[in-house]
Amino acid sequence: EIVLTQSTGTLSLSPGERATLSCRASQSVSNNYLAWFQQKPGQAPRLLIYGASSRATGIPDRFSGSGSGTDFTLTVSRLEPEDFAVYYCQQYGSSPYTFGQGTKLEV
Amino acid sequence: QEQLVESGGGLVKPGGSLRLSCAASGFIFSDSYMSWIRQAPGKGLEWVSYISGSSRYTNYADSVKGRFTISRDNARNSLYLQMDSLRAEDTAVYYCVRGHTILTYWGQGTLVTVSS
């Protein structure tokens, strides 16, 4: 089983700043099949990025994903007030498909 | 407009059973893999199970294998999760999700609480 580690539990930033969230895999993620999700309190997760760098439908271009192999990054170029939430990475390159433990982005 | 609406959650005693349902609309259900993902209170996300559009392929997390059964009824645009031999650690919000690799759309979830 691939273990995903999101090393930063909580990231404190302000609107307008740049956010960089990391996700490290215990072994290489096949085909860079890595996704990022955003979850706000009381809501279901929302797909942001898949395939490490492809934005999902309707996702603003201030969200971008990068990385390959075992190291992946989600970048939010200029934080908007609605971006403060919990972010999860997920690998779907090998079963069981696993999630990171999440990074809380707070003001 | 895609929509996934879960139902069937509630309070159940350890060792008991529960059947979750998910009503889908706004997309071609029979063409879509579907998954169940769960989230324990205040915790992260855990993949539980998926099923192919034709029901030919299913897969389960080790933590639920042999206790949970995923199924679907394409005529009713519905997904199910039969949960038997429930344990306290199964307490979670259960999400119905379109897809099995790329999890494109999530329902709002239904809460399952296993407690005596």
pLDDT in tens, A31-81: 999 999 999 999 999 999 999 999 999 999 999 999 999 999 999 999 999
Q: What is the overall mean pLDDT for chain A?
A: 95
- Residue A7, pLDDT > 90, answer no
B contacts of A90 (beta carbons < 8 Å): 45, 103
A contacts of B45 (beta carbons < 8 Å): 37, 45, 88, 90, 99, 102
Per-residue DSSP letter, B12: E
pLDDT in tens, B73-113: 999 999 999 999 999 999 999 999 999 999 999 999 999 99
C-beta of residue B6 within 8 angstroms of C-beta of residue B95: yes
Q: What is the predicted pLDDT for the residue at A8?
A: 82
C-beta of residue A99 within 8 angstroms of C-beta of residue B44: yes
SS3 content of chain B, % helix, strand, coil (to 5): 5, 50, 45
Spatial distance between the Cα atoms of A61 and A76, rounded to a whole number of angstroms:
9
Spatial distance between the Cα atoms of B83 and B30, rounded to a whole number of angstroms:
23
Tell which of B27, B106, B108, B110 to mutate to test the A interface (max A CBs under 10 Å).
B106
Q: Is the dihedral of CA B89, B57, B54, B84 positive or negative?
A: negative
